[in-house]
Amino acid sequence: MSVPTRTPPRVVEAERAVGRSPFEDGLPEWTGAALASVQAVALSVLVVVLPAVAASLTSSIDPTDQAGWLAAARVGLRIWLFAHGVPLVTTGATLTMVPLGLTAVALYTQYASIRRTGVAGRPGLVAGTLAYVALAALVATIAGDASRLPVVLGGGFVVGALGTGLGLARRPTSTSWRRMSDGLHARVPSYVALGARAGAMASAMLVLGSSLLVVLWVVAGRATIGDVVRELPLDAVGGVVFALAQLAYLPNLVVWALCWLAGPGFVVGTGTLFSASAVVVGPMPAFPLLGALPSSAAGGHVALLAPLAVVAIGALAGLFVHRRSQETAWWHGSAAVGSVAGMTAVLVVALVAASAGAAGPGRLAIVGGAWWVVGPIVGALVGGGALVVVLPASPLLRAQLRLWWAAVPMRRTGADSDGPGTAGPDADARGTAGRSPLARIRAGLARTVRRRGDPQD
């Protein structure tokens, strides 16, 4: 009988693909954020360019003139750049008062596009922001504003980074902010981060309250607004474009109302003042939205209550801090309140500075609030309101104050040593080791009271 032979298995080497594209298996993840930025810029540009071209076509004698609507398109691109902080140069003046409504549109389109198609993580954040900045530079080149490229890059970075960050944070599969900023959370104390969150919340409530105040102003000044609109020679398309211009500057009016609530008020041209305590009116341009401005002072009681509304918002922020605080030292509450005031002041300074600027030649070169005045005042008012809530509610601070108060007579009499029958400071320190901060303060308070009751040596 013959023994069957075993055939060794064949080894087939995998053929290496030659010239295979790296994108054959799919695009890299970060390209989703970059493409979303392209979509966002295209949408926000169309929102501005289409009304400009429509207004040009309806007012042109020859609608088929290609040069006319191309010039209108370039004007629309410059207005889009104007919403990103690039000054708008006209024949009569250089405008620097940014239409925050258009800025909000650009920010929202970036946010919505990134939220729908972006990939969460640092690569998506960097790719979305850099793509937005590059597209803003491209728009500036097409519009003929390449000489202002540093301002374009700065404005594009701010809008692109905010929109991309918020959009990625709202995705269902997003990486938490704590994981995206690992080292930052390790270096920033928890009470400072909590105060910053409360300051952002207070700023949002201030904007909400200012919006409600603007609604009251518009209702009270609707007759003046109607008179201004009737005096303007507008056709149907011109009326729509002019209405869009009012909406573009409506957020600016909201920030001015915040300046009114804080007390310093705002100006609409040199020699004017709109505040709760005084109103000085001067010649105004035929802009219907300005008809909503208060025509007289609110009076003594309302002038006093307006800043108190800001203090009340600060008290709500303080309540937020108190309920979420995990303080381990008596001074952590004060530090958190300082963080609340600081964050609120920074955000209000940014809003007031963005809403102010030059709105025309001559006396209209100064419009809006003074950020260097309004920001610190709002921060102080909000911080004061938070302080009233946080400090009395802190058990560690109350215990520390009782300890200090109990030790005052001892400092006056010079009683430094332990009396007989006490275990001494070293034993007390060993007994309080490992306890909570509040327990250590209470033990110190009991030790001080025991010393006061013992006879002197």
| CB neighbour list of residue 257: distance below 8 Å, 6 or more residues apart | 210, 211, 213, 214, 217
| CB neighbour list of residue 128: distance below 8 Å, 6 or more residues apart | 33, 34, 36, 37, 110, 114, 118, 160, 163, 164, 167, 168
d(CA 211, CA 321): 25
| Token output for 75 | 């004007």
DSSP, res 9: P
| CB neighbour list of residue 438: distance below 8 Å, 6 or more residues apart | 395, 396, 399
The length of the chain in residues reads 457
Stated pTM of the model: 0.81
Among candidates 114, 229, 102, which has minimal Cα distance to 162? 114
Among candidates 383, 381, 308, 307, which has minimal Cα distance to 339? 383
Contact 345, 375 (CB under 8 A): yes
**Measured between alpha carbons, how far is residue 236 from residues 60, 113, 243 in Å?**
15, 32, 11
d(CA 177, CA 170): 11
Specify the amino acid at residue 372: W
CA atoms within 13 A on the CB side of 193: 12
Angle at 442 between CA 440 and CA 446, to 5 degrees: 115
Residue 183, exposed/middle/buried by CB under 10 A (0-12, 13-18, 19+)? exposed
Among candidates 57, 76, 80, which has minimal Cα distance to 67? 57
| Token output for 425 | 């400071």
| Token output for 9 | 């298995």
End-to-end CA distance of the chain: 116
Q: Residue 241 has what pLDDT? A: 83
Q: Residue 216 has what pLDDT? A: 92
Pairing of strands 273-274, 367-368: unpaired
pLDDT, one tens digit for every residue, the chain (457 residues): 455 566 655 554 444 444 443 444 556 767 888 999 999 999 999 999 998 888 877 766 555 565 677 888 999 999 999 999 999 988 888 899 999 999 999 999 999 999 887 666 788 889 999 999 999 999 999 998 888 899 999 999 999 999 998 988 887 665 555 555 555 566 778 889 899 999 999 999 999 999 999 999 999 888 888 888 888 887 777 788 888 889 999 999 999 999 999 989 999 999 899 998 888 988 888 888 998 998 776 655 677 788 999 999 999 999 999 888 777 777 788 889 999 999 999 999 999 999 999 998 888 999 999 999 999 999 999 999 999 998 887 776 666 666 677 666 655 555 444 444 444 444 444 455 555 665 665 566 555 555 545 544 3
d(CA 307, CA 348): 15
Tokens 């993840």 belong to: 29
Specify the amino acid at residue 106: A
In sequence order, the β-bridge partners of residue 68 are none
Tokens 């270096």 belong to: 187
For the residues of 63-119, what is the DSSP string, one character each?
TT-HHHHHHHHHHHHHHHHHTTT--EE-SS-EE----HHHHHHHHHHHHHHHHHH--
d(CA 5, CA 101): 85
Specify the amino acid at residue 81: L
| Token output for 117 | 């198609």
152-162: b or e for each residue (b if 16 or more CB lie within 10 Å)? bbebbbbbbbb
Count of other CB atoms within 10 angstroms of residue 308: 12
Q: Domain spans of the chain?
A: 30-187, 190-223+231-393, 396-453
d(CA 164, CA 110): 6
* Chain-centroid distance, C-alpha 191: 20
Pairing of strands 88-89, 267-268: unpaired
Residue 223, exposed/middle/buried by CB under 10 A (0-12, 13-18, 19+)? exposed
